[in-house]
Amino acid sequence: MLLALSLYGCGSTPQPQVGQADVTTFTVSLANIHVVDAYGKRLMIDSGKHGDEQALIAAMRAAGINPRSIDYLIITHGHTDHAGGARYFKEHFGIPIIAGRGDQDMLAAGKNSTLCSTGLLASFLKPSIERESYPPVAADIWIDEHYDLAALGASGRIVSVPSHTPGSIALIIDDKGWVGDLVRGGLISKSKPARHFYMCDLPSNDHDIKALLSDEAAKTWYTGHMGPVSAQAVREQFE
């Protein structure tokens, strides 16, 4: 498992996806950062860890993506591996940030909230993850429950999925969803859905998963780690 984890975590290889919303995924230190082009807007989903900014920028430019062309940075939640580079991208490229209000204090502190391991590997890695930090950051747009992207001149919506952290959010555009750490892909088979490494309230996590499944709009879920996974595979795993 550790070997699989290290293989996923080294490098930042773009993975173009085909569809109405064009997706390019970069993986840096195991965390996925997605750049989405849809309805005339370019959205960046998550920002990776603090310290990985230059590797991510180099990968973006190699894929033909100028960070200055990004219209908004959407932070799915305030953990270090998703929000760590947010302040850098905001300060250096002027990208406005969208985040869930429930994670406002975590983003202001630049440190992870309580982590509850769901397996032995997570327990082994937990001490080092708890020591991580990032430059504090504030969002330009705070999401409370639901947000219509029409307000930004785009099409789609943001919904609250607060089981992983109080401010966790998911983005839905057409038949695609970006779900942060609501679930993850498998270490060996990355398209196989699995419970995230850290989750304190499992019943609440199940509730959020089922709520997003009942929406039925998003057929493909782009995860914060490994993935993407199909909604059907999530249904078979969790229902």
Q: Tell me the pLDDT tens digit for each residue of 146-196.
A: 999 999 999 999 999 999 999 999 999 999 999 999 999 999 999 999 999
- 2-238 carries CATH number 3.60.15.10: yes
Q: What is the pLDDT of residue 16?
A: 41
> Who's near 72: CB < 8 A, 6+ residues apart?
41, 43, 44, 95, 96, 97, 98, 141, 152
Residue ranges per domain, the chain? Answer: 2-238
* Tens-digit pLDDT profile for residues 11-22: 554 444 434 799
* Tens-digit pLDDT profile for residues 53-100: 999 999 999 999 999 999 999 999 999 999 999 999 999 999 999 999
Q: Name the β-bridge partners of 133.
A: 111
pTM of the model: 0.93
